[in-house]
Structure 1
């Protein structure tokens, strides 16, 4: 998400780290683990502290854990923000000032998603 907010492509980030863009993709999807030294390089390149990548995670020292609802919400938001359309929608939606109009936009998107799901199951 930070990479996208900065307008940095996977290729650009990969070049600055001496990696292939495929490796960056694997890191972002969680398919490959990131070493501590590589995480430090990524943080430096994206101009954030290393702790940025751990925001929202439960502190193992205090014994608390994120609940399932919170984890689901995090997955949904991450999935949504990894698409260009999702990122753009997240940027412009809050600019809709009135709650009623926001609700109408949400209802429209929900109806379109339900229609798309019906079409997929019918095919």
Structure 2
């Protein structure tokens, strides 16, 4: 079954999925490990994380328990308290983003500045 285009996905489903992805990655948990823990396939976790499928309340509770966060944090009601915003979740959910940030954090300040300067010179897609 083909995925719904992003424009037809509900923004809440996409935001919840992005928070699941960000929390899972921050905890160093693979999609496979999360899927096994909550009785799903990794493909279903992928669909949740993209917002292509809605997460039922019971599965959201299981996912939150496994990731050791509150359901409200994954749903977004604790977003302000946790410092997690939809924009940040989207950015950090991009492939390689969290790994890039972790590597950046391990660099000396001078190299961080040089890297930011270099990235600023790269052309951005329109």
Large movers: runs of 4+ above 6 Å: none
RMSD over aligned Cα, in angstroms?
Answer: 2.6
Higher alpha-carbon Rg: 1
1:23 is aligned to: 44
- CA drift at 1:34: 1.1
1:56 aligns with 2:68: no
Q: Deviations over 1:72-120 (max 9, x none)?
A: x733x3333224531122224345564x7544322211222x0x64xxx
Specify every segment of 5 or more residues in structure 2 that has no aligned partner in the other structure, as ranges.
Answer: 1-21
1:91 is aligned to: 102
Aligned residues: 99
Specify every segment of 5 or more residues in structure 1 that has no aligned partner in the other structure, as ranges.
Answer: 58-72
1:104 is aligned to: 114
TM-score, with structure 1 as normaliser? 0.64
Where do 1:32-71 residues align within 5 Å?
Answer: 32-53=53-74, 54=76, 55-56=78-79
